[in-house]
Amino acid sequence: MKSQIVTFLIKCPDQKGLVAKITNFFYEKGFNILSCQQYVNSIEDTYFMRVRLNANGINLTKNELENSFLELAKPLNFDWSVNYGDKKQNVAIMVSHTSHNLYDLLERAHEGRLNCNVTMVISNHNKLRHIADMFNVPFYHLPITKETKKVQEAQVKELLDTNKVDLVIMARYMQILSSDFINHYPERIINIHHSFLPAFQGANPYRKAYERGVKLIGATAHYATVDLDEGPIIEQDVKPVTHESTPTTLKIIGADIEKLVLAKAVKNHLNQQIIVSGNRAIVFPEAGE
């Protein structure tokens, strides 16, 4: 293994000695443990760990490491995954006609602030093509109607699979994806919803927020699941607003919240900081390595 960062994410039934056993394993293989974060859910008796290793000077292939780890993982019933720092994830961004999230994601990726390749932008409208063009990212205009929904989704799927897309970002795509589509990419689709979920699920949250007279508005980034707006929440934030706000000004204030919330959720995902457990997302803070 070349010098690189290796990240293990582990979920298993809680039991005595887990942290000792796991850290010993990596210590004995010669790894330097950069950080080791754990979380015990004592309501469900479940144990979660994220370990970041420096593979500098380790004489093991990836296969050897994983096979060896399996011997530890099996008897302890680990649900686990490993990621290697030498592989950049492929990302696709789906949009409709609001531009702020798209600009923000492309800018971060372009300047190296998001560790990924943006392979394409897909939209049911042609309106944002100029932004993808600016950043030299392929733009696919795939319109959608009730009648063509199935065909369109198949086209999207083919694009994603042909380009080996690891993560789909719904940056205000505003279309409801079919269960089939969503189930094809479990924990691999991140959606931004423009409210502090579970408040104002569904359409027009800013109008509903105005009508309800709330004193704060927000945004929520979550993994897409079959139940609309019900997936595991990765990141949320709010800003205070006043009675002066109209649905239009709420939209403008909200745009800035959405940008930061979505970008942070995507970064956490790309950085392997997330383990999903049922409907809850365990999001380990970025360790200051």
Q: Which of 5, 34, 82, 159 binds a second copy (CB under 8 A)?
A: 34
135 part of the interface to a second copy, by CB under 8 A: yes
| Burial zone of 29 (CB within 10 Å; 0-12 exposed, 13-18 middle, 19+ buried) | middle
| Three-point CA angle 239, 244, 249, nearest 5° | 60
**Per-position x/- string for 52-71, each x denoting binding to a second copy as judged by CB under 8 A, each - no binding:** --------------------
User: Amino acid identity of 132?
Assistant: A
Q: Least distance in Å: CB of 260 to a second copy?
A: 6
155 part of the interface to a second copy, by CB under 8 A: no
Report the residue number, 160 or 241, with the smaller CB distance to a second copy.
241
Q: Least distance in Å: CB of 180 to a second copy?
A: 25
134 part of the interface to a second copy, by CB under 8 A: yes
**Per-position x/- string for 193-232, each x denoting binding to a second copy as judged by CB under 8 A, each - no binding:** ---xxxxx----------xxxxxx-x-------------x
Q: In the chain, how long is the greatest CA-to-CA distance?
A: 64
CA atoms within 13 A on the CB side of 110: 14
Mark the segment that binds a second copy (CB under 8 A) among 28-36, 61-69, 140-148, 168-176: 28-36
The bridge status of strand 233-240 relative to strand 167-170 is unpaired
Element (H, E) at 152: helix 149-162
The torsion region of residue 176 among left (phi > 0), alpha (psi -120 to 50) and beta comes to: beta
Q: Which of 5, 12, 36, 72 binds a second copy (CB under 8 A)?
A: 36
Residue of 41, 125, 104 whose CA lies nearest to 265: 104
The count of residues interacting with a second copy (CB under 8 A) is 69
Q: Which of 4, 38, 90, 117 binds a second copy (CB under 8 A)?
A: 38
CA distances for 71 relative to 75, 81, 108, 158, 277, angstroms: 7, 14, 40, 37, 23
Q: Which of residues 160-199 bind a second copy (CB under 8 A)?
A: 196-199
Residue of 92, 85, 126 whose CA lies nearest to 109: 92
Q: Which of residues 70-109 bind a second copy (CB under 8 A)?
A: 99-100, 103-104, 107
Query: Is 237 considered catalytic here?
Result: no
Rounded CA gap, 87 and 2, in Å?
Answer: 12
Residue of 214, 123, 126 whose CA lies nearest to 174: 123
Active-site hit among 180, 227, 229, 237: 229
Q: Least distance in Å: CB of 50 to a second copy?
A: 12
Residue of 125, 83, 72, 80 whose CA lies nearest to 102: 125
Report the residue number, 161 or 211, with the smaller CB distance to a second copy.
211
Tokens of 272: 């392997």
- The residues of the shown chain that bind a second copy, judged by CB under 8 A, are 16-17, 19-21, 23-24, 26-27, 32-36, 38-40, 42-43, 99-100, 103-104, 107, 111, 113, 134-135, 196-200, 211-216, 218, 232-238, 240, 242-246, 249, 252, 255-256, 260, 263, 279-283, 285-289
Residues forming the active site: 229
